[in-house]
Amino acid sequence: MEKNKASVSFVLPCLNEERTLSTVLKKINYVRKNELKNRNVEIVVSDNGSSDRSIEIAKANGASVSIAKNRGYGAALDNGIRSSKNEIIIFADADNTYDFYESVQLINKLEEGYDFVYGSRLKGEIKDGAMPFIHRYVGTPILNFIINLLYSYNGIKVTDCNSGFRCFYKKHYLKLGIKGSGMEFASEMLVKVFKNKLKVADIPISLHPDIENRVPHLSTWRDGMRHLLQILIEAPSFFYRSGLTVWIISILFSLTSMIFGQISVGPFNLFGIHTMIFSSFGSIFGIVLWSIGLFIYRPSENRTNMYYFLYNLPEDKLFYYSSTIISTSILMFVYIFYIWYQFDFKFLELEKETLFIANLASNGILLITQTIALHLLKRS
């Protein structure tokens, strides 16, 4: 055994995989005895509550078995990774859809100087029936786009965010602080790898169909939404920038409409009352979008933006700002009502000004109530 060769742990999450587990383990054992014969190699089957012969099969094929205390794909993987003893971790499903004969390619790529390597199914060969149309051409490409939009750096782009064939150093994994216990574990890992600026690479791999009559553990819409939420929860800055941008544009359109009035551009009449109505909706949507980031914000991430100021607002100032904004907003609405009263509750000549004031008042109340909600959640 060469001293300079890093040790390797194969980690397999397992839930009732007796029909495929033996085949998978035989492939890994072949790789271990031939292509990795100069390394210290172990196989860890992280069992997630199997009621079939999976544990018996794992032990019979030279694997150690670690029982995951919590249920879920992510919980099983986390348990297996933490139970492993070696430097390099390589994991994939125990259903034989990934080809472990290709695992050496991931290890070799990792040792070219990378911190994290994953197999890209979309760059490789997807066998007939191996991947549903909606996953291949809709779900995965959309999630790839969102991750690249929010987290890509130095030109590194993810090509298959949902790939379950991954290779990395255990020391890096332990620093990521991954919490997801379900299928969203895969997205959380990738997002945190990008956020920690680890050196990432992919290689083309093949994907094979499930065996006949196997019930998949993946639920398209439920797990797809879990992936999306997990990706977004790590990006409060996205909601900060996008919400603020939408709000500023909406207010500018509303101001332009109020000051300059309707402008005809070809067949279009812009900046009239209808523009103000849509701008009012846009400003409210902007604050709501911005507020999502406020609720998922972590003070350790950014100490310079408005989120940090509102998150750490002392109670006396929170009371002062709240009472001031709410009182001012109420006075604005009272003023509008008074003008309406002056016109005997008939058509208002100042409808643009009235609409703009009502919009500002609504925006102010929405902002402060969201801030109060944040402080309530901090205390729950």
Note the pLDDT of residue 3.
Answer: 56
Q: How confident is the model at residue 126 (pLDDT cuts 50, 70, 90)?
A: very high
Note the pLDDT of residue 263.
Answer: 74
Distances (CA, A) of 205 to 13, 162, 164, 166: 19, 13, 11, 11
Q: How confident is the model at residue 353 (pLDDT cuts 50, 70, 90)?
A: confident
Residue whose pair of structure tokens reads 């169909």 in the numeric block: 209
Q: How confident is the model at residue 256 (pLDDT cuts 50, 70, 90)?
A: confident
Integer Cα distance of 191 and 150 in angstroms = 9
Can you say whether the dihedral through the CA atoms of 320, 321, 324, 330 is positive or negative?
negative
Note the pLDDT of residue 304.
Answer: 65
State the average pLDDT over residues 33-39.
95
Interval 82-108: pLDDT, tens = 999 999 999 999 999 999 999 999 999
Integer Cα distance of 293 and 236 in angstroms = 4
| Range in 6-10, 191-195, 284-288, 352-356 with the lowest mean pLDDT | 352-356
For residue 211, pLDDT over 90 is answered with no
Integer Cα distance of 65 and 107 in angstroms = 23
Q: Name all domains of the chain by residue range, CATH numbers in brackets.
A: 8-233 (3.90.550.10), 236-378 (no CATH)
State the average pLDDT over residues 33-47.
96
